[in-house]
């Protein structure tokens, strides 16, 4: 899909190949540090409130115990398509039903739980790197519903600094080599 987009953008094959190689080198070869903030969230079924920018999203279960709320990340994903988060996180998401089942299992045990989707702040300069950031967070955190990147990290050294009001259950820094 990206190659099709690039081929429509460039007139000759040499320019197209340079653009593809440049993108590959920027994504894979160099050591890179990313600063990512999670300050936004929606409750399950409020998908129309999601923005159209690209970024990382977290499926979290919030469990309420007495006066304390404990978040647990159960899935980390990336929205890198044309419609960004709004296009990726919706009722057709392949892990949404699994997440809802986990919440329901907790409720069946009389645990006050709800599903929340937290998402990163917009960072256009990371649009070529969201998959790498996602991979680092999955490899470092290993959420229950993720399968890809839990056992191996295929990028060069990546440092992800995490901040924001909604990043609980993530470390502040991930260094993955």
Q: pLDDT digits over 109-136, tens only?
A: 998 999 999 999 999 999 889 999 999 9
SS3 (DSSP) at 42: strand
Give 55-85 as a 3 state SS string: EEEEEEEEEEECCEEEEEEEEEEEECCCCHH
Own/partner long-range contacts of 2-9 (Cβ < 8 Å, ≥24 apart): none
**Structure confidence at residue 89 as a pLDDT band (50, 70, 90):** confident
What mean pLDDT do residues 158-163 have?
92
- How much is the pLDDT for 29? 62
pTM of the model as a whole? 0.80
Residue 58 and residue 119 in contact, taking contact as beta carbons nearer than 8 Å: yes
Domains in the chain: boundaries: 1-30, 32-176
Task: Say if CB 144 and CB 133 are below 8 A apart.
Answer: no
* Cα 97–chain centre separation: 18
């Amino acid at each position: 899909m990206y190659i099709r987009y690039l081929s429509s953008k460039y007139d000759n094959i040499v320019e197209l190949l340079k653009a593809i190689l440049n993108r590959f080198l920027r994504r894979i070869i160099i050591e890179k540090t990313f600063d990512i903030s999670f300050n936004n969230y929606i409750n399950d079924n409020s998908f129309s409130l999601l923005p159209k920018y690209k970024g990382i999203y977290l499926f979290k279960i919030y469990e309420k115990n007495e006066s304390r709320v404990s978040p647990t990340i159960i899935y980390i994903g990336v929205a890198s398509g044309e419609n960004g988060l709004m296009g990726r996180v919706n009722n057709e998401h392949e892990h949404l039903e699994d997440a809802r089942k986990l919440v329901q299992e907790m409720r069946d045990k009389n645990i006050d739980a709800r599903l929340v989707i937290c998402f990163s702040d917009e960072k256009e300069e990371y649009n070529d790197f969201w998959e790498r950031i996602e991979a680092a967070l999955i490899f470092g955190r290993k959420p229950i519903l993720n399968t890809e990147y839990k056992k191996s990290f295929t990028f060069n050294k990546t440092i992800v600094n995490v901040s924001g009001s909604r990043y609980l259950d993530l470390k502040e820094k991930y260094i993955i080599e």
